[in-house]
């Protein structure tokens, strides 16, 4: 079948991408038992792989020459309020659907031996969360988007609260309240847009609504409260380090690789196209917050003593590149922001997997408790070196592609802003290499490290797949960029036209 035929196909690929993992998760919850964990894990893995397989036709059948929504599905849902079950993807959202399905498989394999209690509930929560996050990226109805966006909180709240560390209840409640409170203002903005568009929740119709400047500013601020918390941007980032430190490894991977992208995606899908004049007016404010996040939070990361907290702060810094790239309003910056989101999914997810490998052996995340790990775990440290280099933006890795493209976009916008953005590469290298030096190199410092075993076949598979993704995107980013180019260009043209 040709790409254009596939793109216009009525086969519900997006519904399958959403509901295969959700139904698989429910099946795991129904049939899984702690008395037979191997069956439960196998069932979860089959569900995760099935969820990944049904997303592949979205890529193979995608037509990159058009900015129109593809693989659309439309059915009336709540007719009295004109709420529709409307799905579709474009070049901006395609890779996030694929990334979500891919990371879900990684997380299921990563938790294979580590999770020994409530295995069915753990695996089921991740599968359901996967489907809900794909729903966020595919929703073309505002209310449908909001329902998926809020529903993602529930599985992650449970994952942190049940399988997390000693302060898991505090961290899960803080995560839930921060993200929920911000989203309530978004609901008010959506209701206003429903009224302004003549009683429609269709996102594409909202893009064409003529709004005065003052309502645009108010809507921008309402959307900002939800999306900035989710990214998270400075100064509403404080929930993230706590959530990461207390979450199990799989929770940290999904949180960093996918959930943070929900907020950035919200800016792309709602803030920029619906309130373009307000977006331009608030660009200086957004760039300032992004630069603070990139530079200041990078410095905060350097002084961390907990490995997870260090990588959590580095996530905030890297996501600062994303929001900065969006608000310089040029093709290079915006494409760089999307590339950085995808790359961050690979790199930060891999870093948290590496920390999980160490924690499973030593049950500590304190950097001071390690040292000389390369002497006993050479295969593991090979991966850790690669991911640390990618985290610091080494050329040839995915981390370089995203950050360099955003910096070029920032220079195109304003040389001094580009220079400040580029300075973050120094702090990125500092905290990444400082972590690597203290954990991996030097003499073995204690007997606990001396007794550690190198990675097994399952861990090698997980880290190896992530390494291939990081290197492939770093060496050959074209498959990632070519699908988004036309959609990004259309978005920028739309945002450039004043609605006043």
For CA atoms 229, 233, 234, 238, the dihedral sign is: positive
CA distance 45 to 50: 8
pLDDT(253) > 70: yes
Q: What is the mean pLDDT of residues 205-214?
A: 84
Please name which of 291, 363, 371 lies closest in space to residue 327, comparing C-alpha atoms. Answer: 291
The radius of gyration of the chain from alpha carbons, rounded to an integer in Å, stands at 22
- The whole-angstrom separation of Cα 327 and Cα 416 is 15
Which residues 6+ apart lie within 8 Å of 356 measured at CB?
110, 114, 249, 252, 253
- Give strand pairing partners of 76: 84
What does the pLDDT look like over 39-73, one tens digit per residue? 888 888 999 999 999 999 988 888 888 878 888 88
Asked whether 297 and 425 are in contact (CB, 8 A), the reply is no
Instruction: Report the pLDDT averaged over residues 363-369.
Output: 83
Beta strand 70-78 pairing with 83-89: antiparallel
Asked whether the bond before 200 is cis by omega within 30 degrees of 0, the reply is no
Which tens digit of pLDDT belongs to each residue from 385-397? 999 999 888 888 8
Which residue's structure tokens are 């959506």?
A: 190
Handedness of CA 335, 339, 342, 347 (dihedral sign): negative
- Check pLDDT > 80 for residue 143: yes
> What's the confidence (pLDDT) of residue 497?
60
Q: Alpha-carbon distance 489 to 64, whole Å?
A: 12
Contact 98, 60 (CB under 8 A): no
pLDDT tens, position by position, 93-103: 899 999 999 99
pLDDT for the residue 36: 80
The Cβ of residue 225 has, within 10 Å, a number of other Cβ atoms equal to 18
Please report the pLDDT score of residue 3 as a whole number: 38
74: which strand partners? 86
For the segment 269-276, the average pLDDT, to the nearest whole number, is 88
For residues 75 and 85, the answer to whether their CB atoms sit within 8 Å is yes
Q: Tell me, what's the pLDDT at 132?
A: 93
Is the separation of the CB atoms in 425 and 390 below 8 Å?
no
User: Per-residue pLDDT for 79 more than 80?
Assistant: no
- Say if residue 74's pLDDT is above 50: yes
């Amino acid at each position: 079948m040709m790409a254009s035929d596939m793109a216009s196909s009525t086969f519900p690929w997006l519904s399958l991408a959403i509901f295969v993992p959700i139904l698989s998760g429910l099946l795991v919850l129904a049939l899984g038992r702690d008395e037979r964990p191997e069956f439960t894990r196998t069932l979860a893995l089959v569900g995760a792989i099935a969820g990944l397989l049904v997303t592949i036709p979205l890529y193979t059948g995608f037509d990159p020459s058009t900015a129109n929504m593809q693989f659309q599905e439309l059915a009336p849902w709540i007719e009295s309020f004109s709420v529709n079950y409307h799905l579709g993807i474009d070049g901006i959202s395609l890779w996030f659907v694929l990334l979500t399905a891919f990371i879900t498989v990684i997380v299921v394999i990563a938790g294979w031996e580590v999770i020994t209690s409530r295995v069915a509930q753990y695996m089921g929560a991740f599968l359901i969360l996967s489907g809900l996050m794909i729903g966020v990226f595919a929703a073309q109805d505002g209310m449908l988007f909001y329902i998926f966006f809020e529903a993602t909180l529930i599985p992650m709240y449970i994952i942190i609260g049940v399988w997390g560390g000693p302060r898991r209840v505090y961290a899960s409640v803080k995560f839930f309240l921060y993200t929920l409170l911000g989203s309530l203002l978004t609901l008010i903005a959506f209701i206003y847009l429903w009224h302004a568009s003549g009683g429609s929740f269709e996102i594409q119709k909202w893009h064409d609504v003529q709004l005065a400047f003052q309502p645009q500013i108010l809507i921008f601020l309402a959307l900002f409260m939800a999306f900035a918390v989710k990214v998270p941007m400075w100064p509403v980032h404080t929930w993230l380090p706590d959530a990461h430190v207390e979450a199990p490894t799989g929770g940290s991977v999904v949180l960093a690789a996918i959930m943070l992208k929900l907020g950035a995606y919200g800016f792309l899908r709602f803030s920029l196209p619906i309130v373009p004049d307000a977006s331009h007016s608030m660009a200086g404010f957004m760039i300032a917050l992004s630069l603070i996040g990139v530079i200041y939070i990078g410095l905060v990361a350097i002084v961390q003593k907990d490995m997870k907290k260090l990588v959590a702060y580095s996530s905030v810094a890297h996501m600062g590149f994303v929001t900065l790239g969006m608000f310089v309003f040029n093709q290079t910056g915006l494409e760089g922001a999307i590339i950085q989101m995808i790359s961050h999914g690979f790199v930060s997810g891999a870093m948290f997997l590496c920390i999980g490998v160490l924690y499973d052996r030593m049950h500590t995340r304190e950097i001071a408790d390690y040292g000389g790990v390369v002497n006993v775990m050479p295969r593991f440290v090979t991966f850790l070196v690669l991911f640390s280099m990618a985290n610091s933006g080494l050329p040839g890795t995915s981390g370089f592609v995203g950050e360099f493209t955003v910096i070029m976009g920032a220079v195109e916008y304003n040389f001094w802003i580009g220079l400040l953005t580029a300075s973050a590469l120094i702090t990125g290298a500092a905290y990444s290499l400082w972590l690597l030096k203290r954990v991996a190199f030097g003499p073995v410092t204690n007997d606990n490290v001396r007794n550690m075993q190198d990675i097994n076949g399952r861990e090698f598979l997980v880290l190896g797949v992530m390494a291939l993704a990081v290197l492939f995107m770093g060496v050959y980013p074209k498959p990632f960029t070519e699908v988004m180019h036309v959609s990004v260009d259309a978005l920028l043209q739309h945002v450039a036209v004043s609605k006043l």
